[in-house]
Structure 1
Amino acid sequence: MRHDRPTAPTALVIPMHNEASVISGVIAAARAHFATIICVDDGSADDCAALAREAGAIVVRHPTNLGQGAALETGIRHALRLRDIEYVVTFDADGQHDVRDAASMVRMAQDLDLQVVLGSRFLEPTGTVPAHRRAVLRAAVRFTRSTTGLDVTDAHNGLRVLRRDAAERIRLRLHGMSHASEILNVIARESFSYGEHPVTVTYTSYSQAKGQRGYNALNILYDLALHRLRAAA
Structure 2
Amino acid sequence: MHSPADFTDTWLIIPCYNEGQVIRSVIENAKKTFPNIVAVNDGSSDNSDIAIHQAGAHLVNHPVNLGQGAAIQTGVEYARAQAGARYFVTFDADGQHQVKDVVAMLEKLKAGDFDIVVGTRFAGPKKDDDQVPLIKRIVLKTVVMLSPTTRKLGLSDAHNGLRVFNQTVAHEMNLRMNGMSHASEIVGLIAEKGWKVAEAPVDILYTEYSMSKGQSLINGVNILADGLLARRI
Instruction: Output the TM-score relative to the length of structure 1.
Output: 0.93
- Equivalent residues in 2 for 1:1-233 (5 A)? 3-4=2-3, 6-7=6-7, 9-124=9-124, 125-126=127-128, 127-145=130-148, 149-228=152-231, 230=232
Does 157-166 or 145-154 show the bigger shift?
Answer: 145-154
Moved over 3 A (4+): 2-8, 145-148
State how many pairs are aligned: 229
Give the match's secondary structure for 2:28: helix
Distance 1:146 1:11 in 2: 28
Distance 2:153 2:92 in 1: 23
**Closer, same or farther: CA 97–147 of 1 in aligned 2, 3 Å:** closer
Amino acid across the alignment from 1:177: M
* Residues 135-144 or 181-190, more deviating: 135-144
Task: Give the Cα–Cα distance (whole angstroms) in 2 for the partners of residues 123 and 214 of structure 1.
Answer: 25
Cα displacement (A) at 1:174: 0.3
Which stretch of the first structure deviates more once superposed, 69-78 or 139-148?
Answer: 139-148
* Unaligned runs of at least 5 residues, structure 1: none
Distance in 1 of aligned mates of 2:191 and 2:78: 24
Matched residue type, 2:186: I
Contact 1:145 1:151 in 2 (8 A): no
Shift of 1:170: 1.3
- Aligned-pair identity (%): 44
Taking the aligned partners of 2:160 and 2:103, their CA distance within structure 1 comes to 16
**Cα distance per residue 1:41-71 (max 9 Å; x no partner):** 0001112111111111000000000000000
Q: Structure 2, unaligned stretches of length 5 or more? A: none
Q: 1:31 to 1:8 in 2, by over 3 A?
A: closer
Instruction: Give the whole-Å Cα distance in 1 for the aligned partners of 2:198 and 2:119.
Output: 9
> Does the 8 Å contact 1:119/1:159 carry over to 2?
yes
Structure 2: distance between partners of 1:28 and 1:8:
16
Measured in 1, the distance between the counterparts of 2:8 and 2:109 equals 10
| 1:224 Cα offset (Å) | 1.8
